[in-house]
Amino acid sequence: MAGMEFDRQAFVPASTQTASPEKPLIHLISSLLLVMALGLVCYVGYKVYLVNQNNSAVASASDEKSCFGFLRFSSGRTAL
């Protein structure tokens, strides 16, 4: 085939082409930062959940005490 010209670079596998060494490093760092940010959000959410759970337990205990306090007898027993 004397008259045909081929672009031989089109048939070179992608693994042998030169890649920029900075691009994978940027992807690695950005992925690591994303995972760390997600972990931080989960940690802060968990702490907020624990604080809310403790506050609601204290609030419900004080509500229970105030609601049923009038049913107490002088000896400390509760009415049924």
The confidence score (pLDDT) of residue 19 equals: 56
> Does 64 map to a domain?
yes
> Does 3 map to a domain?
no
pTM confidence score: 0.48
> Does 15 map to a domain?
no
Q: What is the tens place of the pLDDT at every residue in 11-42? A: 777 665 565 666 888 999 999 999 999 999 99
> Does 10 map to a domain?
no
User: How many domains does the structure of the chain reveal?
Assistant: 1
> Does 78 map to a domain?
no
Please tell me whether residue 72 adopts helix, strand or coil conformation. Answer: strand
CA distance 77 to 73: 6
> Does 56 map to a domain?
yes
Domain encompassing residue 52:
22-71
Phi and psi at 78, nearest 5°, equal -100, 150
Q: What is the tens place of the pLDDT at every residue in 49-64? A: 999 988 887 777 766 6
